[in-house]
Amino acid sequence: MPPSEVHVQVTHSMPPQKIEIFKSLEDWAENNILTYLKPVEKCWQPQDFLPDPASDGFHEQVKELRERAKEIPDDYFVVLVGDMITEEALPTYQTMLNTLDGVRDETGASLTPWAIWTRAWTAEENRHGDLLNKYLYLSGRVDMRQIEKTIQYLIGSGMDPRTENNPYLGFIYTSFQERATFISHGNTARLAKEHGDIKLAQICGNIASDEKRHETAYTKIVEKLFEIDPDGIVLAFADMMRKKISMPAHLMYDGQDDNLFDNFSAVAQRLGVYTARDYADILEFLVNKWKVTELTGLSADGRKAQDYVCGLPPRIRRLEERAQGRAKEAPRVPFSWIFDREVQL
């Protein structure tokens, strides 16, 4: 059975008067957030990086792609597939943004800046899964049917990031996540280059630069909330970090492995693609970006929340160092995505 959520689900935790904040920020969002979208005509498309099926050289180009892919180890492919599956669950993420009170797309084609952002963000993100999916298909290194099943399971399972229909929580979550994907794709680009596949490095690098742009937009929204309602947003920040930022694909399942997400994450951690240290670094980056240490005039609860988030990165790092010290020889585990070949966790 695919995994499912285990915690209590909370809905509509933001008081109605706070919804007005997002209505009042519409002009600001139009001038300050929509500017982070790229016009479609200026965007790269997956086809820019792939063999052209209409050209005479198609078979030769595919052959070259497959030759380069032969040099890349299985553990790298496990991580690349996991990243691709995460990108392919995009319908879930658009759904998640549209659960948020005050910013959701009320009609499906609403002209509020919040709704325009969500649709255009989704449209930009859609290129990522398309590109990685086609690359992996052409590489000949992976079991596409197992991967496709995993995507179907994951979209069917959804996700509960515990954002409670609350855009304060939602935009903290997306700020964290976009930075996490920026780091992850940046590292798969670096490793592809080390393995001698410059084309794949280019693919991952271009995806990473989209994620960086999106991170900048989401962190700017939260920055604005720190300006308007420092107490409310610092409480939301602490709440989100207490609950821990769950990864978007944490309900991943392939029909076989009940621990698929944990196993994929362990390989990503070992290769240095996305690690517990990155989690602490992202948190520290956001604390600095939003100048959380400098906040003044907070309520007693607000000050507690401020102390909590500012003290968290070193605490996470200490726990991580202890865990590393206790780490045993990692087992080897088969992954259906690579025809049940075994990879060390």
**214 is annotated as contributing to ligand binding:** yes
**128 is annotated as contributing to ligand binding:** yes
Q: Which of 164, 210, 239, 278 is catalytic?
A: 210
Is 290 part of the annotated catalytic residue set? no
Is 293 part of the annotated catalytic residue set? no
Tokens standing for 100? 């948020």
Is 5 part of the annotated catalytic residue set? no
Is 125 part of the annotated catalytic residue set? yes
Q: Which of 88, 101, 121, 128 is catalytic?
A: 128
Q: Which of 88, 105, 197, 214 is catalytic?
A: 214
Is 20 part of the annotated catalytic residue set? no
| Cβ neighbours of residue 238 closer than 8 Å, sequence gap 6 or more | 304, 305, 306, 308, 309
Query: H or E stretch including 343?
Result: strand 341-344
Q: Which of 86, 118, 181, 275 is catalytic?
A: 181
Q: Which of 143, 211, 239, 278 is catalytic?
A: 211
Residues 202/79, Cβ–Cβ less than 8 Å: no
**211 is annotated as contributing to ligand binding:** yes
Q: Which of 28, 30, 44, 195 is catalytic?
A: 44
Is 210 part of the annotated catalytic residue set? yes
Q: Which of 120, 235, 216, 97 is nearest to 167 (CA)?
A: 97
Q: Which of 87, 105, 143, 254 is catalytic?
A: 87
Is 329 part of the annotated catalytic residue set? no
Residue type at position 45: Q
**185 is annotated as contributing to ligand binding:** no
Q: Which of 83, 124, 125, 164 is catalytic?
A: 125
Q: What is the C-alpha separation between 269 and 241, in angstroms, rounded?
A: 20
Q: Check residue 12 and give left, alpha or beta (phi > 0: left; psi -120 to 50: alpha).
A: left
Residue type at position 226: F
Q: Which of 75, 130, 178, 257 is catalytic?
A: 178
Tokens standing for 198? 């410059």
Residues 21/103, Cβ–Cβ less than 8 Å: no
**342 is annotated as contributing to ligand binding:** no
**195 is annotated as contributing to ligand binding:** no
Binding residue numbers: 87, 125, 128, 178, 211, 214
Cite the annotated binding site for Fe cation by residue number.
87, 125, 128, 178, 211, 214
- Provide the annotated active-site residues: 44, 87, 125, 128, 178, 181, 210-211, 214
